[in-house]
Amino acid sequence: MTARASDRLAFVAGVVAAAPGERVLEVGCGAGVLVTELAAAVGDGTVVAVDRSARMAAATTRRNRAAVDAGRVRAHAVPLLDADLAGERFDAAVAVDVRAFWTPPAPEWDVLARVLAPGGRVVLGFSVMRPEDRERVRAAVTEVARRRGFAVTATAEAPTAPFPTAAMELRRPG
């Protein structure tokens, strides 16, 4: 599978700005299109993908077979809250349209707080289906993330189709 990433996923990959050697976690990987972009960016780094759907995790593995075989990509069929990430540390975590990150109580933030390396960043992308979604989602993310010690460090938006895509970068101080 070599289909190129949608404008939406390419935009989010650009916001993540994964660098060679980095370790990246994608939550809600779907068919693995963003994983492909991230794996190309990290080179000899690693991408770990989790999706609660076994079908999607399998699709991610198929799409990224060469990187999986090289040990640079791993896909797990498990919700983030149940993922065995003990001992893992990530430079970045990314999720696109994963509402769990802005729907209280949003315990997924606790997992990210445990697995992000010092200075690590979280990038959340979301579709702006209605104009009011932009500020509603940003406010909700800001609030639930703040409770876990994360702060918004950047926001961006792209005029993707069929809806604009917004992204937020968050980090923990220190």
Residues 10-47 have pLDDT tens digits of 999 999 999 999 999 999 999 999 999 999 999 999 99
More confident: 140 or 173:
140
Burial 70-85 (b: 16+ CB within 10 A, else e): eebbbbbbbbbeebeb
Domain assignment present for 49: yes
Total of domains in the chain: 1
77 phi/psi in degrees, rounded to 5 = -90, 85
Residue 1 included in any domain: no
Is residue 160 situated within a structural domain?
A: yes
- Looking at this protein, which amino acid is placed at residue 158? A
Q: Which domain holds residue 75?
A: 7-171
Token representation of residue 115: 């697995």
In this structure, is residue 2 part of a structural domain?
A: no
**In the predicted model, is pLDDT for residue 123 greater than 70?**
yes
Instruction: Please state, in angstroms and rounded to a whole number, the distance separating the CA atoms of residues 160 and 18.
Output: 21
Give all strands (DSSP E) within 52-150, no chain letters: 73-77, 90-96, 116-127
Which are the contacts of 43, defined by CB distance < 8 A and separation ≥ 6?
20, 21
Residue 14 lies in a domain: yes
Q: Residue 105 and residue 157: Cα distance in Å, rounded? A: 26
Q: Are strands 46-51 and 23-27 parallel, antiparallel or unpaired?
A: parallel
pLDDT at 109: 97
Whether residue 92 lies inside any domain: the answer is yes
Task: Read off the DSSP letter of residue 89.
Answer: -
CATH number of the structural domain spanning residue 17: 3.40.50.150
Return the structure tokens found at 116. 């992000």
Is 128 inside any structural domain? yes
Q: Please tell me the distance from the alpha carbon of residue 148 to that of residue 115, in angstroms, as a whole number.
A: 13
Q: Among residues 107, 80, 102, 93, which one has the least CA distance to residue 172?
A: 93
pLDDT in tens, 66-90: 999 999 999 999 999 999 998 999 9
Judge whether 136 lies within some domain.
yes
